[in-house]
Amino acid sequence: MKLQIMSPAAERVDFKVPPAPRLASLDGKTIGLYNNMTGGADIAVERVAHHISQRFPSVRFERYGGDLRPGRVALSRGNHIDEEEAAKIATEVDAMIGATAH
């Protein structure tokens, strides 16, 4: 009898994504907050929003995650932002903060 042992680990994929350019200022900007619906992600993005709004009172926030946007895809642990949704979000915000807590 021959025994074949297989690893459940995925193959490593190495790729680099350059960081987005920094905004000169947050004054008057709209920041997207992405909650990927894992435990604590909602708390994390709300805490960040609170601290940013303390320093920059003119900042507005748009929230993404769950079923917050009627007519749009419901984002969840299993359904993340795809290219189409990312393109829509890019027209709505100046910057994006994501939380993947758990």
Ordered per-residue pLDDT tens for the chain, 102 residues: 888 888 887 787 787 888 888 999 999 999 999 988 888 888 999 999 999 999 999 999 999 988 888 888 888 878 888 888 899 999 999 999 988 766
Q: How far apart are CA 59 and CA 18, in angstroms?
A: 25
pLDDT of residue 94: 96
pLDDT of residue 70: 84
36 closest CA partner among 77, 84, 67, 88: 77
The CB density around residue 73, as the number of other CB atoms within 10 Å, is 15
pLDDT of residue 89: 92
Domain parsing of the chain, residue ranges: 30-99
Contact 41, 99 (CB under 8 A): yes
Task: Note the pTM of the prediction, 2 decimals.
Answer: 0.75
